[in-house]
Amino acid sequence: MIVQEAVRAVDAYVASDVLRDPRCRASITDSSRRTLSETIDSSGLRRETMPDDLRNDLPESARCSETHLKRHLADQTRLDDDDP
C-alpha cells in the first residue's frame, strides 16, 4: 500500500524514506525497488548535485517564475488600488 503510493508519487524523498524503512523493505517487490531507486537516481538526491538536465532547465524555470510573480504582484497592486 505505502510502497505503491510511493511509486506513483515519483518523489525522490518519499522513495528514499520507503527504501530505508524496514517494514516497507520487507514487503517491496523487485520491480518497485528498482522504480524507487531510479526515481532517486534521476533526482540527484544521493549525488548531492543536480543532474545536468535539471541544472540546464533551472534558468528558464527561474525566468518563468519571475514572470508569473511579477504578473501576480501587478494584479494584486491593481486590486489594492481599486479598494475604496
Residues 13 and 28 in one domain: yes
Residues 18 and 44 in one domain: yes
Which pLDDT belongs to residue 5?
93
Handedness of CA 41, 45, 50, 53 (dihedral sign): positive
Domain span at 20: 1-49
Which pLDDT belongs to residue 43?
85
Residues 44 and 57 in one domain: no
At 7-36, the pLDDT tens digits run 999 999 999 999 999 999 999 999 999 999
Residues 56 and 28 in one domain: no
Domain count, the chain: 2
Give dist(CA 56, CA 66) in Å, integer: 17
Q: Extract the C-alpha cell encoding 11.
A: 518523489
Residues 43 and 54 in one domain: no
Q: Extract the C-alpha cell encoding 34.
A: 528498482
- Residue 16 or residue 46, greater confidence: 16
Amino acid at 77: T
